[in-house]
Structure 1
């Protein structure tokens, strides 16, 4: 047999399978058909392939394979004659006889039980994917043999080969087979999972920390639950292996019940040590979510809240606060649990002791929903917070406090002006900070306070912050080099690192300018009185200057601010915008990939064109045409976004139909678009 991968008639699959298993070449005589075969090639006999049941683990996993199949030269012959392609065909073709796929898997398991070169040959033959598929879908006997082949790869394979297995989804089916009634199969799967976990641990150590990603995948596949159940299995080998794996990769979960029990002890001397240990456990990245859920399910949250009231033990208060902060900073369900357990009024009280953990918890609660935000405000959270915004506050505390303040002022519906107007007086001082995190948080808060109605916008204008926003647009901020390590723009985490290399200062200036433009865009969405305040503060020239040169994230908010000003501004105010050169950069932004930004620019240009009407010709239409704006608007007629198409057609028909006759579609296709300022 010169090439076992050659096309083989279906009725000869059994013979070729035998040749693969025995490592025979094509010149060897074919095996005689078994009794009852009626002259057809028989499915290979199971004789000599029973399970080897010696006393040790190795014996349980080994097979009494024929001598030929275990001979290195024969295995080499199978690979050299390209028989792996034939085996692949057997795995992927539908057969009525279960034993064909089963024996194919068994041959592959023999090959993968040896050196890495042979394992790589199996990988190169694309056999792993169908093996994993069979572990999901095939009959039990086939699943078991496929699992054995996969497990053998994990035992003798390289780290990259094992990572390849994981990438092709082997973890979940291995975990699923842990409930198999056959102890041999369970041991095989445990062995495979353990080998995979070892690679995950090595990868974690190579990254100098973090989590064992494969342990997390095992947990996600509900494998950890199954391994825990195997801890009490009647088979001693399985018990021992399951216990070893739990101790090696999930030790925290093993220790957790005792720690929680100590928190509930009648001995007060045990409370602090137990709380410290649990707080450390909650901080571990490995199995983070599962540990938190275990702590929550065992009723530790109400106990921690009880510890918050222990004014006689400030250290216990602090540790309980940190533990609750970790729990509350995850999913909204966990945050709600902390709030519903009565933590909010106690944490508001703890703000008097300048507790950063209390700030983080209150920020997390307010971040969940407007209802939970109002819960914090109704318990006096804002007043207690504002007391922390003074010249004696540390930079670290100031960062957390300003982030928390932004969450108090955010959400839809917005809090009433009466609820948050006290924040404006504090922002007048905070906005002059030279710390990037504080500035970004302050700008975010101003944007929140400027939303929804003119009274709120007018209050922001009267607070006197606009001149400082101009400074931020021009210079960013004079940021101390020692403060260039962290910047929090998006969420309640203790400073998300922005790359702090020689470009770090530019990164932080970008964050500040985005925040300033965002706040200005909100104010410019108000009435003409607020728009005039923006004009009087000399902000418009700065925005126009940024539009063609800044990074896109800055440009889109600058364009939004200009567009908002055209929506609510008077004719004279819009003429002022045009005189400052806003038309060309708005036209240039029409080719950006962000549909909402394109929409704002179209609305801004439409508002400008409307002011240009009234004479013999529309001078602003000519400026747009000269800025290549007409060409860009015309191309937007075929944009993927329907609203953009409709708006572009409307503008073209309204202001260029006569001059560009024949270039427009019929008037029936144009629809009115509504302007939307935010």
Structure 2
């Protein structure tokens, strides 16, 4: 790995028209946008169906709930809620268990479960108390199930569970000798963590990660592994992200999950890595040290859309670190896969692929050359003419980074591929940031043209004028954003003063 001194030297050498910190901020903004648009596509809370009666291994007895039928889950049983609660104030373990099951059945519905009524009835403290009841494993199981399903509700409901003292008890049950109990405890902790960063951190502060990793290490069943991988990804999610020292220890386990034969497990692992890779370069280093780069690059072409999406996101975040990280992405074959992704009909995939490219072209000239050598630029120029604005915006970042960081010959190649007309179109983009990024690219291209002038003619300036760019720049001199109007005026005065003078005389 290159030294920090080398990296800082490269950053200081950036051309004045583009700030590396601005490019990095752009990546963060993109990440927020992706998170918002994709949140509904990944289940962060899960309601558990069933009762301890389904697990005779916990207790030999099978429970028959005398007043329960599928049609009675609503008003009839809800009207008996207070009696169920009162009946649990007893030392009779079976009576406690049966009524805990009845309350669980009230929650076992897809249509508006009565979580609020159950919380207000005082169920949460009782269930938290039952978690300690080692003499009745089936009661522990049912209590964890009820609490986990309550946590599928609102922040207020999760807060009630947290204030009951249930979190450390659930963490203890992650180490239970009974696998069904471990599953319910893990599910409940995952639902609590999904409510937001403060609850996630509360769970992690109680050493839930350590318990979870141990449970995953001890040869769990397929079901437990699925639940555990989902919980693990929830422990890594949220903004602000978890403190790195709380999640760093999970990286080797997540890396191992990438080779699992269960696509659901792989999808959760990819999601977790995408979140960890956003935290900082130290965790990116940890991820790369676990030799996952090649697998992530391969998954960019996965037929499983969830696996594909989050592997692309992780690869993009890795490439957005420093030059060494971007080089790992290139060395593991990302560029041919990205070129293939550009031909996929789904807009979200093409947009994400271009975002990854923008992080690579923000690197050193050798990395820009790798993109050029792969034949990606002509494809991007073609896409600029047929794509929606969201995709064109990401392509603009790719081209701007390449123009601002590339060598004279690399900029010449961009021009030969038709970049100038494509950029001229983006001078009228509805996004001021994109307009400014476009102006930065145009400025650098014109500077190269100035250095390559023949017979006092800047051929790149002529091409820009012929593509309608000059008229658009003149209009941008009146833009409400000062940085845009100033940069547009600078281009016009520096490269087109004679043309403007002629027009004025006419």
Same fold (TM over 0.5): yes
Distance 1:270 1:381, change over 3 A: same
| Structure 1 residues 13-66: Cα deviation after superposition (integer angstroms, max 9, x where no partner) | xxxxxxxxxxxxxxxxxxxxxxxxxxxxxxxxxxxxxxxxxxxxxxxxxxxxxx
1:456 is paired with a residue of what secondary structure? helix
Partner of 1:618: 411
Give the 5 Å matches for 1:68-107. none
The change in CA–CA distance for 1:469 and 1:287 in structure 2 (over 3 A counts) is closer
**The residue matched to 1:368 in structure 2 has which SS?**
coil
1:553 correspondence with 2:348: yes
1:659 aligns with 2:482: no
1:398 aligns to what SS in structure 2?
Answer: helix
Q: Does the residue aligned with 1:659 lie in a helix, a strand or coil?
A: helix
3-state secondary structure, aligned to 1:639: coil
**Structure-2 separation of matches of 1:584 and 1:263:** 71
1:295 maps onto 2:118 in alignment: yes
Would you say 1:582 and 2:369 are equivalent positions? Answer: no
In the TM superposition, 1:145-294 aligns within 5 A as: 250-265=75-90, 267-288=92-113, 291-294=114-117
Give me the whole-angstrom Cα distance separating, in 2, the residues matched to 1:528 and 1:397.
39
Counterpart of 1:55 in structure 2 is none
Match of 2:141 among 318, 331, 344: 318
Instruction: Specify the alignment match of 1:540 in structure 2.
Output: 335
8 Å Cα contact 1:363-1:403 kept in structure 2: yes
State which of 593, 604, 609 in structure 1 corresponds to 2:398.
604
- Partner of 1:217 in structure 2? none
Q: Is the 1:449–1:457 Cα contact (8 Å) retained in structure 2?
A: yes
Label 1:264 to 1:248 Cα distance change in 2 as closer, same or farther (>3 A).
closer
Flag the 1:261–1:623 CA change in 2: closer, same or farther, 3 A: farther
Residue 163 (structure 2) aligns with: 340
The structure whose RCO (Cα within 8 Å, separation 6+) is larger is: 2
Shift in Å at residue 643 of structure 1? 2.6
Q: Deviations over 1:242-272 (max 9, x none)?
A: xxxxx99732332222222212345444101
- Gaps of at least 5 residues in structure 2 are 1-71, 446-459, 485-506
Highest CA radius of gyration, 1 or 2?
Answer: 1
Q: After superposition, what is the alpha-carbon deviation per residue over 1:199-224, rounded to whole angstroms, capped at 9, x for unaligned?
A: xxxxxxxxxxxxxxxxxxxxxxxxxx
Q: For 2:364, which of 570, 577, 581 is the aligned residue?
A: 570
Distance in 2 (CA, whole Å) between partners of 1:361 and 1:295 is 17
Residue of structure 1 equivalent to 2:28 = none
| Alpha-carbon distance between aligned partners in 2 of 1:325 and 1:660, rounded to the nearest angstrom | 61
String of CA shifts for 1:411-443, please: whole Å, max 9, x gaps: 233223322121111122111012111111111
- Over 3 Å counting, the alpha-carbon distance change for 1:439 and 1:379 in structure 2 is same
- CA shift for structure 1 position 611: 3.7
Root mean square deviation, CA, Å = 2.5
The superposition leaves residues 268-311 of structure 1 with CA deviations (integer Å, 9 ceiling, x where unpaired) of 441011001110111134451xx211110011101001001000
State the distance in 2 between where 1:391 and 1:347 align: 18
Deviation, 1:405, is 1.0
Q: Give the Cα–Cα distance (whole angstroms) in 2 for the partners of residues 603 and 642 of structure 1.
A: 13
Q: Where does residue 234 of structure 2 map in the other structure?
A: 407
Cα–Cα, structure 1 residues 396 and 297, in superposed 2: closer, same or farther, change >3 Å?
same
Compared CA separation, residues 384 and 635, structure 1 to 2 (3 A)? same
TM-fit CA distance, 1:632: 3.8
- Structure 2-normalised TM-score? 0.71
Q: Any stretches of 5+ residues in structure 1 without a counterpart? A: 1-246, 477-505, 674-678
Say if 2:424 is the partner of 1:634: yes
Equivalents in 2 of 1:333, 1:588: separation in Å? 51
CA drift of 1:328 comes to: 0.5
Residues of 2 paired with 1:305 and 1:618: CA distance? 65
- Change beyond 3 A, Cα 1:423–1:299: same
- 2:208 aligned partner: 381
Q: 1:530 to 1:438 in 2, by over 3 A?
A: same
